[in-house]
Amino acid sequence: MTNGPATGTRQLEIRVEDGLDIRILPDRGFDVGQAWWRSKPLAWYDESRDVPPLAVLRDNAWISGFSGGLVTTCGLFHIGRPVHERGLHGTFAHQRAHLVAIGPEGSARARISEADGLGSLLEVERQISTEGGRGRFLLSDVITNRGCQAERVRLLYHVNLLLPGPEMLFLLHGQRLGDPHLERAYQTTALPQPPAGERAEAVLRDHRRMLEIKIAWSGDELPFGHLWRCDTPHGGVLAVEPATAPLPGVPPPAPAPELVLAPGASKTIRLEVECAELRSSESHPLGRVPETGLRSPPPVSLDPD
């Protein structure tokens, strides 16, 4: 980039015929920034915060560089509110990727490394793939512990959807998430978990633009989920946040094993986002989808004390 707040940073655009157009940010953790499907923007985005990576990320400094985009990666040694010397949501989204390569048919890959002291080093081999003729992309991370000791990997994908307003329907694991759940998201709430062994899915139906956005992940790879909502001058944002660990201060609905990697061990984690046009049978905001009977715990404010 040669002008604007992001001056000096690399940006990579992938465009495929009748597929998702995405902007990848190699200097910001190889995350996915703005994204469009058939010219429709999918992600909440604040250009004023689209800045070069920050060198110091203590306390809530992370917020000043949070421009949204479709996927912001949090971690890998900390997620959630500041705790002691660790700032909000860690430092991964401010790491510069290296060995960036463009692959065939709308794919790109890179390596991102994050250290924590002399003995701790986590490495991520990330590949992002899109498909022509289909509004879909797949993010695949292979996380390897290159350090000298076992590490608890705290990874959270902050998927930032542009909130369309009242004409929407939010589905979780195939059931409608009612207004009380969405109101609790203003303070961040834990998402109900899918039945054991099933794939997790969160779906936003935008009835004004006749657009459906589906986020899918494996409950075994990302056993924790959170929902965050905020109103901003740049529109509302609804963030779906699958994670390998619970957020501090936000108890999950049920216990689940966290990801711990021994030295030299690796783990593959995948995230899928897919868009489609709403069919006429799905055009009513309430549709015929029953409200979820799944229960989530009460919210806990993440405002720093």
Q: What are 2's two structure tokens? A: 């040669």
The pLDDT value recorded for residue 105 is 78
pLDDT > 70? residue 295: no
Task: Give the DSSP letter string of 51-74.
Answer: -SPPS---TTGGGGG--B-SEEEE
| Residue pLDDT, tens place only, 46-80 | 998 999 999 889 999 999 999 999 999 999 999 99
| Residue pLDDT, tens place only, 88-133 | 999 999 999 999 999 887 899 999 999 998 899 999 999 999 989 9
Q: What is the pTM of this model?
A: 0.90
Alpha-carbon distance 45 to 241, whole Å? 16
The residue-averaged pLDDT of 25-42 equals 95
Alpha-carbon distance 171 to 185, whole Å? 14
The residue-averaged pLDDT of 34-41 equals 94
pLDDT > 50? residue 218: yes
Q: In percent, how much of the chain has pLDDT > 70?
A: 90
